[in-house]
């Protein structure tokens, strides 16, 4: 008579033990899921830190001479909607921290624009693509001067007042000439896409693309003038970022 009772008791105890085992496994499973989520979040954060480190290293390696002091800044916001008045960005430096109006901005790839308006700790930067932007440039190889004009977001840049006899070629790099007094001489700005005689003027019709991806900026460098004289090495052209390459000497 006790055998069936003992069997039922053993079965009940076994089921009870398995229940507690399942509860323990469930709790352990939830803990593991939480741990996996934390590790994935940490991995994403580390990946973002690594990407930022690569960008900052590229900026730090940008060579400038002693006449300019590079100041790093973060981009706080971009163009505010398609109907925004200015093609601009907002950065994390103002007039009290180096972001004075007129200060040029660059990345390791080339020119971004210049500070237009500044508060104490932030500034609005006018991008070179803005329709009100005018930049005096040279073609890097043929040394043809012109004025680079912004045409708005998503539009190609135009280079005005380039003489018809200039030998500018597609693929040539445009650099700042410094003749407008707004930018240091020799900063890469854009790449020539198309060259043709203008149908309406005596100049060439030239289209170009910015060298910098202005839609995905995260960090930039401001070039603050220091007032120091520019160094010159006798017998050798300066190897700094500011200043165009020396013209090739003519062969006899």
- Give pTM, 2 decimals: 0.66
Three-state DSSP at 163 gives strand
Q: What is the pLDDT of residue 28?
A: 79
Q: What is the pLDDT of residue 239?
A: 41
Do 165 and 196 lie in one domain? The reply is: yes
Number of domains present in the structure of the chain: 3
Location of structure tokens 């135009």: 158
What confidence score (pLDDT) does residue 181 get? 81
- Flag whether 151 is in a domain: yes
Using an 8 Å Cβ cutoff, are 137 and 191 in contact? no
Give the structural domain span for 142. 134-212
Q: What is the pLDDT of residue 114?
A: 93
Give the whole-angstrom CA distance, residue 101 versus residue 114: 7
Residue 203 lies in a domain: yes
Residue 226 included in any domain: no
Query: In this structure, are 115 and 45 located in the same domain?
Result: no
Residue ranges, the chain, pLDDT below 50? 233-252
pLDDT per residue as tens digits for the range 156-176: 999 999 998 899 999 999 999
Instruction: Examine residue 232 and state whether it is found in any structural domain, yes or no.
Output: no
Give the pLDDT of residue 247: 43
Q: What is the pLDDT of residue 58?
A: 55
Tell me, yes or no, whether 102 lies in a domain. yes
- 144 DSSP 8-state letter: -
Is residue 154 located within the same domain as residue 204?
yes
Residue 72's domain is classified under what CATH number? 2.40.10.340
Q: What is the enclosing helix (H) or strand (E) of 35?
A: helix 2-60
């Amino acid at each position: 008579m006790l055998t069936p009772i003992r069997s039922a008791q053993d079965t009940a105890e076994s089921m009870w033990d398995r229940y507690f085992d399942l509860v323990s496994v469930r709790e352990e499973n939830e803990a593991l899921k939480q741990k996996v989520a934390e590790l994935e979040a940490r991995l994403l954060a580390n990946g973002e830190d690594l990407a930022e480190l690569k960008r900052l290293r590229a900026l730090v390696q940008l060579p400038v001479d002693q006449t300019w002091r590079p100041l790093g800044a973060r981009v706080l916001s971009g163009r505010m909607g398609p109907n925004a008045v200015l093609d601009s960005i907002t950065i994390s430096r103002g007039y009290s921290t180096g972001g004075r109006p007129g200060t040029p901005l660059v990345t390791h790839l080339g020119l971004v624009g210049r500070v237009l308006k500044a508060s104490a700790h932030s500034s609005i930067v006018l991008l070179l693509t803005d329709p009100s932007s005018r930049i005096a440039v040279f073609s890097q190889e043929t040394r043809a001067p012109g004025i680079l004009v912004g045409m708005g977001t998503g539009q190609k840049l135009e280079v005005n007042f380039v003489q018809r006899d200039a030998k500018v070629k597609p693929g040539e790099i445009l650099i700042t000439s410094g003749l407008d007094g707004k930018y240091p001489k020799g900063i890469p700005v854009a790449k020539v896409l198309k060259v043709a005689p203008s149908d309406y003027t005596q100049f060439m019709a030239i289209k170009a693309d910015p060298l910098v991806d202005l839609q995905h900026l995260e960090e930039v460098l401001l070039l603050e003038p220091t007032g120091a004289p520019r160094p010159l090495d006798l017998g050798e052209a300066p190897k700094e970022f500011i200043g165009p390459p020396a013209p090739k000497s003519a062969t006899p």
